[in-house]
Chains A and B, each alone.
Chain A
Amino acid sequence: MADTAVDVHHDHHGHDDHHHGPTGILKYIWSTDHKIIAMQYLFTGMLMAIIGGYMAYVFRMQLAFPGISVPGFGQVSPGEYNALITNHGSIMIFWVAMPVLIAAFGNYLIPLMIGADDMVFPRINRLSFQVFFLSVIVLMASLFVEGGGFGGAWTSYPPLSAVAEYNQTNLGSSLWLIAVALEFVAFLLGGINFITTLMNSRAPGMKAYDIPLVAWMIVIASILFMLSVGPLVAGAVMLLFDQTLGTGFYDPARGGDPILWQHLFWFFGHPEVYVVLLPAIGITVDVIATFARKKIFGYKMVLYTAVATGVLSFFVWAHHQFIAGIDPRMANVFTVTTLLISVPIAEMCFVIIATLYGGSIRLTTPMLWALAFMAEFLIGGVTGIFLGASGADIYFHDTYFVLAHFHYTFFPIAIIGSFCAFTYWFPKMFGRMMNDTLGKIHFWGTIIPFNFIFIPLFVLGMGGQHRRIYNFQHFPELATPEMFQLRQIATISLLIMIAFQLVFFYNMITSWIRGEKAGKNPWQANTLEWTTESPPPHGNWPLDRMPVVYRGPYEYGHPDREEDYWPQDEPA
């Protein structure tokens, strides 16, 4: 291992690019430094989150106050409504959760946590971001072409998505599909890098079980993504052919089958949930260990349950299709596999909760986010059981109950997980501490409204409110004053939550400029990224002082030591 780490250092030309390559702003655009690429992903993801949030604001306003002219948008037509919900979903999953959780933190953390100077393929890494950026441009363009953005839901079921006559967004739907396919290319390139780097570039002495769990989780997620995305890319190409060349892969009149797409989509779509979940769990585990000053209650258990969840996730996809017209006998098989997945996930949650036992818990801002992740994700987890049980899903399918359920999983993953990671590693990334008071104001201003957005939606879903309807006035049972009140509570909570995000941006910018200097290891954490300067220089450590690892990453509260932490690189 030692040789590899040093060889990589000498062989690649990262340093040369830096010193003799472009200067000025181009230095940041054409950099092959993993930290700069991480920032590119992070800030692109943040920008996309603002766009996705804006879309949510517009359609929530329409739902609570149908027909009003939404400030900053205008009146929402049914076609625009469909395009907004479709792109909100696509953006939040493909252009926020994935770039921030996997690409940004994966790029930033993996080399630093394993004691490498960079990724093993720095140029592929740069290519990954550039392809990703292209996908952003294509997606944004799709919103402004003739006919408007694609409005067939993020699941993009044919024939609606395949035939221009049905979806009325000829160009928008093709561009949306191309953007999604490009995004997959970007993440395949990035994923190859993560997997190879973790396998080959670890510091001397770092064995498999000495790797911080967040690095493991991002790599397991990359493997899941690689294994699941192939069928969907094939499906997307067939859909593109159906759209543009007039083939009939999904057209029953010409021997195709629309359900084929659903299988290909969900074969990817369900593992995708775990692709974004695992990095968020990894972040949570690391942060909880640091601030509870506790060794993880079963490092291997977390790792094995993550792998088990990943493997099982390939056998549950048809629970999205119980009532889609598949053979009803198949539903029983998928009910069994789906409910089995609750076992490793529950175990993972138990381990994280048990880690708190005997700790010395410091409620800093990142710790609050990590704890909130657990508290809220549990709600998402248990409500999923209603939907995995085929009999109950007959009623709940495509209601707001489903919507509230997956927002209780995706919001903790993509938003809470990202804020947790951002506030925790901010001192490392920018060399300064974030303001803790502002951080806590932002935390409560996000968490409380979040629950007030989605709990009413659970109730609406139980009342039979179905999804993707731009105005409920055509459904007398759903147009009652009580139901409108619930919708308005959700929308007003969203407005409050959005307002509190200004606190975050203010805190980020002012702390970046004039926050308190952070030093190398402000949280007294063990992992290797805290042994270098904040922010780390190009190459991460001086060449002659590359770290060497002596122990696992979670040796907190060891009885033989006076301090309650024991850095991985400190000789015994």
Chain B
Amino acid sequence: MLERFLVQASTYASDIDGLINLVAVLAGFWFLLAEAMFFWLIWKFRARPGKKSQYLTGKEKHVSRWITIPHALVLVCDVFIIIGSVRVWYNVKQVLPEADSTIRIIGQQWAWTFQHPGADNELDTADDIFTVEDLHVEVEKTYHFKLESRDVLHDFSVPVFRLKQDALPGRSITGWFRPTMTGEFGIQCAEICGIGHGIMAGRIHIEDANTHAAWISSASVATTP
């Protein structure tokens, strides 16, 4: 459903979209059934002169099963959604696949700062590349990010990755992503962070190996920490 709005640019984007579709099908089924039943009953039992309403207590077996059977089925649907949800969640948030590279993302009022590992592919070394608002990554490489904040809560959100993670002052939160297509996409701050929340935008540049290497060499000359 979501791929109609946004491309899937990470390995887990399609998993998350698949889960959303699963919920849409199961919840949608119950929703349509309940609404259809509801409007049909309103129509069927509209007041007509001389026709008195029936006296039903809900205890009669033949009527109460209209409640108890759907009740059990809803529970079964819940189990499917829970299993699907936990699987996706585990994959995205609980396990960390081996990283090809590590970056640091720092939120502050009201900009994103990105610390790239530079030519040696090691973070916190002299050749790290610092940028503001523009994150450069290579396609088909697994990245770990260390997410930090200097002041208030922020939230690193990349809609095309289907990724969101709050940034907290005083903590470094590690997460991962693996881009699957090249291009330039939006980064948002998805947690209100003051009057500049609406300008806290970034761009992610997903490049192929050559372009990325070229960017590293050009940026290494230009930036100092």
A residues near B (Cβ < 8 Å) are 77-79, 81-82, 151-153, 157, 159-160, 163, 166-168, 252-253, 257-259, 292-299, 301, 323-325, 328-329, 331-332, 335-336, 339-340, 342-343, 346-347, 349-351, 353-354, 356-363, 371, 374-375, 378-379, 382-383, 385-386, 389-392, 394-399, 462-464, 466-472, 474-478, 556-559, 564
Q: A160 → chain B, closest Cβ, in Å?
A: 4
> Which 4 A-B residue pairs are closest in the complex by CB-CB distance?
A252-B170, A391-B88, A358-B54, A464-B159
* Contact A359 B45, beta carbon cutoff 8 Å: yes
* Contact B152 A159, beta carbon cutoff 8 Å: yes
* Contact A358 B2, beta carbon cutoff 8 Å: no
* Contact A157 B34, beta carbon cutoff 8 Å: no
B158 to chain A: closest residue by CB: A464
Q: A334 → chain B, closest Cβ, in Å?
A: 11
* Contact B70 A350, beta carbon cutoff 8 Å: yes
Binds A, one of B98-106, B138-146, B184-192, B211-219: B184-192
Known interface pairs A379-B31, A466-B157; A258-B169 also in contact (CB < 8 Å): yes
* Contact A332 B54, beta carbon cutoff 8 Å: no
* Contact A394 B164, beta carbon cutoff 8 Å: yes
Q: Confirm or deny: B58 has a beta carbon within 8 angstroms of a beta carbon on chain A.
A: yes
In the complex, the number of residue pairs spanning A and B with C-beta atoms less than 8 Å apart equals: 289
> Which of B1, B47, B58, B162 has the most chain A CB atoms closer than 10 A to its own CB?
B58
Known interface pairs A160-B194, A357-B56, A382-B28; A391-B70 also in contact (CB < 8 Å): no
Q: B171 → chain A, closest Cβ, in Å?
A: 6
* Contact B23 A392, beta carbon cutoff 8 Å: yes
Across-interface contacts of B198 in A (CB, < 8 A): 78, 81, 468-472, 474
Q: Which of B37, B51, B70, B170 makes the CB contact (< 8 A) with A360?
A: B51
B90 to chain A: closest residue by CB: A332
Q: Confirm or deny: B9 has a beta carbon within 8 angstroms of a beta carbon on chain A.
A: no
* Contact A398 B16, beta carbon cutoff 8 Å: no
A85 to chain B: closest residue by CB: B192
* Contact B20 A395, beta carbon cutoff 8 Å: yes
* Contact B86 A292, beta carbon cutoff 8 Å: no
> Which of B26, B31, B41, B48 has the most chain A CB atoms closer than 10 A to its own CB?
B41
Known interface pairs A295-B55, A339-B78, A346-B74; A328-B93 also in contact (CB < 8 Å): yes
Across-interface contacts of A389 in B (CB, < 8 A): 19, 23, 81-82, 84-85
* Contact A78 B195, beta carbon cutoff 8 Å: yes
List 16 contacting pairs A-B, 8 Å CB cutoff, sorted by A: A82-B192, A157-B191, A253-B169, A292-B45, A350-B66, A359-B53, A382-B27, A382-B31, A390-B86, A391-B88, A398-B155, A398-B164, A471-B198, A477-B186, A559-B55, A564-B52
A300 to chain B: closest residue by CB: B58
Across-interface contacts of A398 in B (CB, < 8 A): 155, 157, 164, 190-191
* Contact A392 B56, beta carbon cutoff 8 Å: no
* Contact B46 A363, beta carbon cutoff 8 Å: yes
* Contact B23 A386, beta carbon cutoff 8 Å: yes
Q: Which of B47, B52, B85, B151 makes the CB contact (< 8 A) with A335?
A: B85
Q: Which of A259, A335, A349, A363 makes the CB contact (< 8 A) with B89?
A: A335
B186 to chain A: closest residue by CB: A477
CA distance A476 to B133 in the complex (A): 14
Across-interface contacts of B163 in A (CB, < 8 A): 394
